[in-house]
Chains A and B, each alone.
Chain A
């Protein structure tokens, strides 16, 4: 059916990546470049009474020191979101109040990195320590107010109450929860906790800046959001947008961690003031402490249901630890509801309440899964509990109760991103087939029965299998915008310029495949340029599972427009009417009554040569933009088999099967890779990853080794099976895949644990000490 789409084309940058040719931000250096180092707060909450940088400035090789003393305090949000941002304006580049250990005190720019680092030690800072809030459950209404008298405000009209440490609040109700809950014959209430996490992109955050020949500021940055970087730097550094160019080179992974504008304004200011190139690369420790994290969450589920398992009422209450600033606080919170509750859309009475609270701990932000991961831990277990209690087969339960094609959920409209959501009817889902295929591939029925029976009796190592069904979204409806520009060259090749930001996901390749399919021309004929604010059109950026679905659609529209122009020129050259020609293998051919006339054809190269040099001359070119009126959910079913050592509490994964509906996978191998990467990140988050703090709020495990990154050694057998559906609103039927699969491990492993032991896990990560305490409860 497809020729270029749904084919596992090799990544267009693949060989350049694996031979080390490609350049990442830190690989760019310029003559006369300054190196920037940041002094971070060592106190969780403190007022800076004075900074004396004279000794640092006196050092040989120190060129500039930036602090609140010489940088204007302009309130903004570091969140790289569309404008106006739904995150509160509660940050300044350099402030005199430090709100977490790792907050920025000042920046030193020097001739070498060594001098810059040495100069940090010479900066004398007089702090007045304040009483911090280090427990997010005690933040709301605490006598310690974290944003006090700093003018912090919400940019959009939403609830915000800094005086109570509330950075964000979301509430929505469908039907009447209280009433339905009260009337339900069966009720459960459970509370779940998930921890902080670091994205652990292998490339640390980095930014390099310089002035071009005409004095414009160029920023090379490891960012997911180059256009937001341009806009935000313009505001914070007070440099006109017209004077800023942002280039995204290759990016060494993002996962949401680089959807944040942190380093760019600092190098921008250094360069703008000194007229010299400047480079800032964070150390791994700085990435752990001073960039952004996954928010810590507490979720509380109250569920009322009937004896047959039908849920009448469900209330999800979420408490989110936003840390010192409110980056993404509101939207992650809203997504905790909007990406979970529509899944079981037949529940009539739904309530979502959530608060994001300020604490004096590291700052949350965007992280693959974006609230959904945090909420699925409980949501996926609640379904298992209801099934267990009512004797329902969970596989059949999901098949029956989940949202189907042609159906909707009132939650889509009730929960938006800082405003009302967008009503939407689901038009593509193969979830039931995903569940069916996954059950088969994982040996679900045999194993579930086996492990639930006598198999584990008297055994130290107990086995279990668990499953969970999932959904996510594809782009933010009526907010995210993507665009593409394309022009044709004389040999029949095309330049494809997109604002979309390839972070390593392979989106440059996927977008080229979409253009290939429209123009029936091989992928190598497309020269893709992505994310250079001078040369590519606007795109909100790589987040919210948007690139394939949204940017892909912009590319498709753009290629279709190019195709029309090619057909017109081709028909003209062949002296036939436009209705008689079509595009085939990089040619325009005449087709009459369904038959191709082989004598009448003209190649793309001939067409372009004619249009550029010979007849009715013009550049074949097009641009297109796309905004989606909906965010079609991808779906997935995960089946996880575990073995738990009941003497030590160590959980070992034996097998992981994931079946995924991402619509049409434009590039199946790349799509599988997205799923596999997300699954392993999900496993790591479920079992090992956490932030451990000292009583003074200092992060203790700020290295890969102490954090517990997984290696190839720690991975169970993983099977990913793509089960296609066709999404009409997506390019060639595509939806998203990047985020959804990180959501399965938490509930899936917990459900498998119940199958093995009859006990429930309420706290992640499932470190052996905690697991053992649950076993011995």
Chain B
């Protein structure tokens, strides 16, 4: 619950907003869904509304897709479906929360917050997305570095996410949840850069694990330089080891078991898409 004494700021320039974040007790307000989660927020003094910064864009320059941090999940899903581009993002994000929430949840907020149930991170990481931030440290970083380093905890504003769109990439995502509205238990995304039917590079990420995020490096290695086969998929799956946290609905061992099944399903789908 926010105190009723909070101050609102409505900057119109990114630089203005970036300055404000250094103030004590200030949080950025994108769509506001995170801020309204039930938790004590008595230390919050001000909210910086960043909707007027002009960051709610999705644009393409050359082969780079720029997703402004103010773009909502709904914006990304609509764009991706409409243009039939980066469909792994619409496949994943259309399962996130619900229609009215997807109209409020922003890419920037979800990137910065990185909840356990995120189904934004895994596909973006598989696509080797970059992130443009401004704040204590400014610049363009790989999303993987951002997510796994103290960067994510630093005071900053996300300007945009960049994804290089390559036509030789085959990607996919699998989300485990039992009913539609439930928070995803885990999300697995994979992107394979293909040289005809040979995997030149593979990036496979799982979110929802104990460490929040894990890259399946050994599995990626199994595929590199080979064409994907059922044998290869099985052998890669056997090398996958995932540590989950048990919750009241599912045990850790069960989650790992299903994650492996989904891993195989995902790679098999990618294999099929190559044919």
Contacts and interface: CB of A to CB of B under 8 A. Distances in A.
Contacts of B4: 114
B250 interface: yes
B180 interface: yes
A708 B254 contact: no
Interface in A360-419: none
Interface in A745-777: 767-769, 772
A692 to B, nearest CB: 4
B261 interface: yes
B36 interface: no
Contact of A768 (B178, B181, B183): B178
A769 B261 contact: no
A647 B249 CA distance: 18
A714 interface: yes
A157 interface: no
A772 B250 CA distance: 12
A710 B179 CA distance: 6
Given A692-B248, A700-B248, A701-B248, A648 B181 contact: no
A20 interface: no
A114 B183 CA distance: 29
Contact of B179 (A648, A688, A700, A772): A688
A772 B181 contact: no
Nearest to B177: A708
A4 B119 CA distance: 53
Given A647-B261, A648-B258, A714 B180 contact: yes
Interface string A693-715: 00000001100111011110110
A403 B115 CA distance: 56
Interface in A712-729: 713-714
A648, A701, A704, A713 — most chain B CB neighbours (10 Å): A648
B248 A711 contact: no
A769 B254 contact: yes
A235 interface: no
Contact of A650 (B178, B183, B249, B251): B178
B269 interface: no
A714 B254 CA distance: 22
Contact of B178 (A692, A711, A767): A767
A709 B178 CA distance: 10
Contacts of B178: 650, 687-688, 708, 767-768
Contacts of A710: 179-181
A114 B98 CA distance: 29
Contact of B180 (A114, A700, A701, A713): A713
Interface in B157-207: 178-183
Contact of A705 (B183, B250, B251): B183
Interface residues of B, number: 16
Given A647-B261, A648-B258, A769-B254, A692 B181 contact: no
A133 B249 CA distance: 22
A708 B261 contact: no
Interface in B212-265: 248-251, 254, 257-258, 261
B251 A769 contact: yes
A711 B258 contact: no
A767 B257 CA distance: 15
A772 B248 contact: no
Contacts of A772: 254, 257
A706 B117 CA distance: 12
Interface string A8-20: 0000000000000
B179 A709 contact: yes
A701, A706, A710 — most chain B CB neighbours (10 Å): A706
Nearest to B261: A647
Contacts of B248: 692, 700-701
A650, A687, A701, A769 — most chain B CB neighbours (10 Å): A769
A650 B191 CA distance: 26
A768 B178 CA distance: 8
A709 B181 contact: yes
A711 B98 CA distance: 10
B189 to A, nearest CB: 18
A705 B182 contact: yes
A650 B174 CA distance: 15
A704 B181 contact: yes
A121 to B, nearest CB: 10
A701 B178 CA distance: 15
A204 to B, nearest CB: 15
B254 A711 contact: no
Contacts of A650: 178
A769 B250 contact: yes
A141 B254 CA distance: 36
Contacts of B249: 692, 701, 767, 769
A711 B179 contact: yes
B179 A714 contact: yes
Interface in B82-119: 98
A110 to B, nearest CB: 15
Nearest to A285: B38
A114 B258 CA distance: 45
Given A700-B248, A767-B249, A769-B250, A708 B179 contact: yes
Contacts of A648: 257-258, 261
A555 to B, nearest CB: 40
A732 B182 CA distance: 45
A772 B182 CA distance: 20
A63 B248 CA distance: 41
Nearest to A703: B38
Contacts of A714: 179-180
Nearest to B183: A705
A708 B182 CA distance: 6
A650 B257 CA distance: 13
Nearest to A699: B248
B272 to A, nearest CB: 16
Contacts of A708: 178-179, 181-182
Interface in A172-224: none
Nearest to B265: A647
A96 B263 CA distance: 54
A58 B128 CA distance: 58
A706 B261 CA distance: 24
Nearest to B181: A711
Contacts of A767: 178, 249-250
A767 B248 CA distance: 12
Nearest to B4: A114
Nearest to B251: A769
Contacts of B261: 647-648
Contacts of A647: 258, 261
B254 A705 contact: no
B258 A768 contact: yes
Contacts of B179: 688, 708-711, 714
Contacts of B257: 648, 772
Contacts of B250: 767, 769
A711 B251 contact: no
Interface in A110-140: 114
Nearest to B262: A648
A711 B183 contact: no
A641 to B, nearest CB: 19
A101 to B, nearest CB: 15
Interchain residue pairs A-B with the least CB separation, the first 6: A692-B248, A713-B180, A769-B254, A647-B261, A708-B179, A700-B248
Given A705-B181, A768-B178, 12 more contacts: A647-B258, A648-B257, A692-B248, A705-B183, A706-B182, A709-B181, A710-B179, A714-B180, A768-B254, A768-B258, A769-B249, A769-B251
Interface of A: 114, 647-648, 650, 687-688, 692, 700-701, 704-706, 708-711, 713-714, 767-769, 772
29 contacts: A114-B4, A648-B257, A648-B258, A648-B261, A687-B178, A688-B178, A688-B179, A692-B248, A692-B249, A700-B248, A701-B248, A704-B181, A705-B182, A705-B183, A706-B182, A708-B178, A708-B179, A708-B181, A709-B181, A710-B179, A711-B98, A711-B179, A711-B180, A711-B181, A713-B180, A767-B178, A767-B249, A768-B258, A769-B250
